[in-house]
Structure 1
């Protein structure tokens, strides 16, 4: 019996979405998993196929389900693709958000909403610092959500995650490294990783810890607040490669261009989230081991 109430998870077939479905099912939610493509989902999860940039489809989805909670994960998350397809990136990340929260305003106004933004969003007052169309799309997404929260007194929370890592299909750098290492192990290919700059630093957080944070925000997060979802620690790509070296027997060499290009870093601090009782629980090395294990198993199936 579901105790927590109806929860819609958008982007349910994606990297974070699959972990979210597994977590919230165990937590006792009545889950509607929404994706643009059909999903084969086992267990007590209702799957819905919906194009979130179709306003009528979104409205009908909300009208049918009347959710108590919404976790909005869907969108276009690839920076490279945003350069080649900026308009479709804007549609996927902004209009889907607008359609969802406006449908909830009309049909399920007491719904508690967590919109998952990005560490790459920026302060819109410094427009010249936008690094790519993806950042623009996530910045506008958050502005839309915050505006609806204030204009219509809606229960909307913004989660701003750092670089999420963990087992599963992902475009993240840790998954890219792990996939190459798994290929090295299986095929005996040249054991060289190409890295632009080993000194680049990122805050890496296991996706399973992030999903726990989203759960906490749905139950205890304050409306109209923004919460950084991060480990609070930065690691260089060199450290990440050393972490992978510690969990493989392959003699991995690195070819680095040592590009010294200056990066605009966005400050991200999880203290507000920690004050609600959350803290990361999965060590970086465990995450890297799980990622590599996932890609090893994929290679075995090929």
Structure 2
């Protein structure tokens, strides 16, 4: 059984990814710093090079999927963001090169946030990144640092766009909307709903990770996205239809971002070329899956 080491294995994405890998016959080992215990779990701080090196040396993974880091863009301490997202990743690559030189593929989770605010409606990997906050800046810095390892390690950088599914917290927009409909709340406060975005199902994101992991590609970057636009108004209408409940939407000016781009969509042409063919579920199917887990 091939072994996959997942950093941040108990995260929203990591939880779904572990299940998808098990279904395909992989053995998983995971890092955590939240106290999760079990035979596949290692309590490990990726910002401590000696800790991550010991874990990688013990696991001797065939594949590594790196999800751990700080993903909250409004995190108040920029130094902690860069320490986790940039230097934590460097520690992992150093550990792989020196303690597990036989690793077949390393996937590093960057973010579509590196593209920044752009008028380009369809964003592909050729678009020049222009991050506008420390989270996105840390991810772009990580990408540049990782590229210096391309000659030593088989690395793919991934830039996921928006995705959702069961288990995602209500601090994210779609789970917030779903939860309000599930509990039949009379009203919901949102920001600008006259926008459209590229939303994916977490299960399809996991399939994309596995496809890239199994591909022959390396030393490249790939968007992970559906390539389809969905408006927030459509999401609300889908939820109304699926839940059989009407909710009044109030626009809170505090939630409205300045100079918000109306339409942002990713191109998944490179993803499909490297790891395809991959199918992405309609967002209505994802919403039904999420609502069904909360129906009483």
TM range (shorter): 0.7 to 0.9
Asked if the contact 1:213/1:278 (under 8 Å) is kept, the reply is no
Q: Which residue of the partner structure matches residue 274 of structure 1? A: 272
Answer 1 or 2: which has greater helix percent. Answer: 1
Q: Which residue of the partner structure matches residue 215 of structure 1? A: 210
Distance in 1 (alpha carbons) for counterparts of 2:195 and 2:216: 32
**Equivalent residue of 2:65, what SS?**
strand
Q: TM-score, normalised by structure 2?
A: 0.87
Equivalent position to 1:205, from 200, 205, 213:
200
Q: Which residue of the partner structure matches residue 3 of structure 2? A: 6
**Equivalent residue of 1:292, what SS?**
helix
Distance in 2 (alpha carbons) for counterparts of 1:254 and 1:195: 7
Q: Extract unaligned runs of 5+ from structure 1.
A: none
**Equivalent residue of 2:94, what SS?**
helix
Q: Which residue of the partner structure matches residue 147 of structure 2? A: 146
Q: Which residue of the partner structure matches residue 36 of structure 1? A: 33
Q: Which residue of the partner structure matches residue 285 of structure 2? A: 286
- Greater than 4 Å deviation, 4+ residue runs: 257-260, 264-267
Distance in 1 (alpha carbons) for counterparts of 2:131 and 2:280: 33
Distance in 1 (alpha carbons) for counterparts of 2:67 and 2:18: 11
Alpha-carbon shift at residue 40 of structure 1 (Å): 5.1
Give a deviation string over 1:204-246, Cα, whole Å, max 9, x none.
0001001011111111141111111100012121121112111
Alpha-carbon shift at residue 249 of structure 1 (Å): 1.9
Give a deviation string over 1:172-216, Cα, whole Å, max 9, x none.
211121122223x2xxx5x11212101222110001001011111
Q: Which residue of the partner structure matches residue 110 of structure 1? A: 102
Q: How does 1:1-302 map to 2 (within 5 A)?
A: 2=1, 5-39=2-36, 46-81=40-75, 84-111=76-103, 112-122=105-115, 129-150=130-151, 153-170=152-169, 171-183=171-183, 185=184, 189=185, 191-256=186-251, 259=256, 261-263=258-260, 268-275=266-273, 276-294=275-293, 296=294
Give the CA RMSD over aligned residues: 2.2
Aligned residues: 280
Distance in 2 (alpha carbons) for counterparts of 1:266 and 1:106: 40
Distance in 1 (alpha carbons) for counterparts of 2:178 and 2:216: 34
Distance in 1 (alpha carbons) for counterparts of 2:272 and 2:212: 11
Asked if the contact 2:7/2:65 (under 8 Å) is kept, the reply is yes
Distance in 2 (alpha carbons) for counterparts of 1:205 and 1:36: 27
Distance in 1 (alpha carbons) for counterparts of 2:37 and 2:58: 21
Give a deviation string over 1:148-175, Cα, whole Å, max 9, x none.
114xx31000111110111113342111
| Closer/same/farther in 2, CA of residues 244 and 216 from structure 1, 3 Å limit | same
Q: TM-score, normalised by structure 1?
A: 0.86
Q: Extract unaligned runs of 5+ from structure 2.
A: 117-126
Distance in 2 (alpha carbons) for counterparts of 1:65 and 1:226: 26
